[in-house]
Amino acid sequence: MLETIATDDLDAVHGGYSQQLFSAMQQAVRMGLTIDSTVTGGHARNSMHYKGRAFDAIGTERQMQGFYNWAATHTHAHELIHRNHFLKDGRNVHPIGGHNGHVHFSI
């Protein structure tokens, strides 16, 4: 059985990752990170991963912090999480656990 897509979500469908998400992935790779998870893996029930709107990137602590800093100043991420830092729509919010070994980026 196929799942129905809401009209608002359907308006944003382009057949694959959005340009903003793909550009952020490319930047992460240029900074030495590996894209570890997109639509697969164990994530929260309503995770943006399962909507094709998020990725996790892994690397050294320096690389991950560097990407976090870059994304915080050069993108308009919906969620940007690493260690004790969580930006949601550009605002600092209370960090959530489980993000010490990767950077989470979603649009």
> Residue 100's pLDDT is what?
83
What's the pTM value of the predicted model, to 2 decimals? Answer: 0.81
Q: What is the largest CA-CA distance in the chain?
A: 45
Contacts of 71 (CB under 8 A, 6+ apart): 24, 27, 77, 80, 103, 105
pLDDT in tens, 78-101: 999 999 999 999 999 988 877 888
pLDDT at 18 over 90: no
